[in-house]
């Protein structure tokens, strides 16, 4: 999420665990075992709620991915089966951020030491937030950034392309006006959203169970290779759109697969078995190219 200070990015991230399905028994056991190796279990009991980890941007690479003299699990493993929230993403150490690339792909982090070679599970949902520039006011006509547009370009330049390519959803968050803050609360609350998410997750579990993968693959995020090709088959119009977008946006093979995976999840949330043009178009709208073009436009305003 990218937006000015006070637009609600941190609040949205903190609410995310509330709409996720509860931990399955095997997931609770996995997460609890990792915490027992790290900071310990609260009151010595198994975890029942999905972890939510929000380390400060000053944390070291070892604290984030794991390591140290005793090779303990880091924040990404403590967030296993839960949410890892990185606020002020460009302020994190560059080496620490680049170390996230492998776990985001494989769901595992490998730590090599002279005495041992360890692997910790790290299947987490990464949520990150950042301001449009260092001062946070880029594009705000009321508070002009004194170094625009260089301020925004320098700030975004702290993040590498390969890391951004691994983040599926890039969302612009705009500041709320006083008028919007005074409006009544929306009718759809977290409970109704959670029910929709649970229904989509149930569809995914049933799909993988029918493929003989019950207990091995739990959601679309874990589907890759031939399995993804089997469950995310776009119709002719969607396939045409995806091909055109791949050429126009210069999508990598990784980005192509990630668009398909996101589109499959969008269709599941809508209760659709077929993968249509609307699902692919919405998934494409979340790719980094769309967001970065908006940022560039704001720097030119």
**Tokens 């776990």, residue located:** 103
0.85 surpassed by pTM = yes
- Enumerate domains of the chain plus CATH numbers: 9-131 (3.40.50.300), 190-285 (no CATH)
What pLDDT, on the 0 to 100 scale, is given for residue 142? 67
The predicted pLDDT at position 136 comes to: 76
pLDDT for residue 153 = 82
Q: Around Cβ 154, how many Cβ atoms within 10 Å?
A: 13
Q: What is the pLDDT of residue 268?
A: 97
Report residue 63's pLDDT band, with 50, 70 and 90 as the boundaries: very high
Determine phi and psi for 100, rounding to 5 degrees. -80, -15
* Of residues 150 and 286, more confidently modeled: 286
pLDDT, the chain, mean: 88
Query: Who wins on pLDDT, 71 or 88?
Result: 88
Q: Which residue has the tokens 């589907």?
A: 223
Read off the tokens for 34.
């990792």
Compare 290 and 131 and report the one with higher pLDDT: 131
pLDDT beyond 50 at 295: no
pLDDT band at 257 (very low <50, low <70, confident <90, very high): very high
């Amino acid at each position: 999420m990218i937006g000015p200070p006070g637009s609600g990015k941190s609040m949205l991230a903190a609410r995310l665990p509330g709409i996720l399905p509860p931990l399955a028994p095997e997931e609770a056991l996995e997460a609890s075992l990792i915490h027992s190796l790290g900071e310990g279990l609260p009151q010595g009991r198994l975890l029942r709620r999905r972890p939510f980890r929000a380390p400060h941007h000053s944390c070291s690479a070892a604290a984030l991915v794991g390591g140290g003299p005793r090779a303990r699990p880091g924040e990404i493993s403590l967030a296993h089966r839960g949410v890892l929230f990185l606020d002020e993403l460009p302020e994190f150490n560059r080496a620490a951020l680049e170390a996230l690339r492998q776990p985001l792909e494989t769901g595992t982090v490998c730590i090599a030491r002279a005495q041992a070679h360890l692997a910790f599970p790290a299947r987490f949902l990464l949520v990150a937030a950042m301001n449009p520039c260092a001062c946070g006011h880029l594009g705000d006509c009321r508070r002009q950034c004194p170094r625009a547009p260089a301020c925004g370009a320098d700030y975004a330049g702290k993040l590498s392309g390969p890391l951004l390519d691994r983040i599926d959803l890039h969302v612009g968050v705009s500041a709320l006006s006083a008028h919007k803050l005074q409006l009544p609360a929306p009718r759809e609350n977290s409970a109704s959203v959670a029910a929709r998410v649970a229904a989509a997750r149930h569809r995914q579990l049933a799909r993988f169970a029918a493929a003989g993968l019950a207990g091995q693959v739990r959601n679309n995020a874990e589907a890759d290779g031939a399995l993804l090709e089997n469950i995310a088959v776009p119709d002719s119009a969607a396939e045409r759109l995806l091909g055109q977008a791949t050429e126009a946006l210069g999508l990598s093979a990784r980005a192509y697969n990630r668009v398909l995976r996101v589109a499959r999840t969008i269709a599941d949330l809508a209760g659709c078995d077929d993968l249509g043009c609307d699902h692919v178009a919405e998934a494409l709208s979340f790719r980094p190219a769309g967001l970065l073009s908006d940022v560039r436009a704001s720097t030119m305003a």
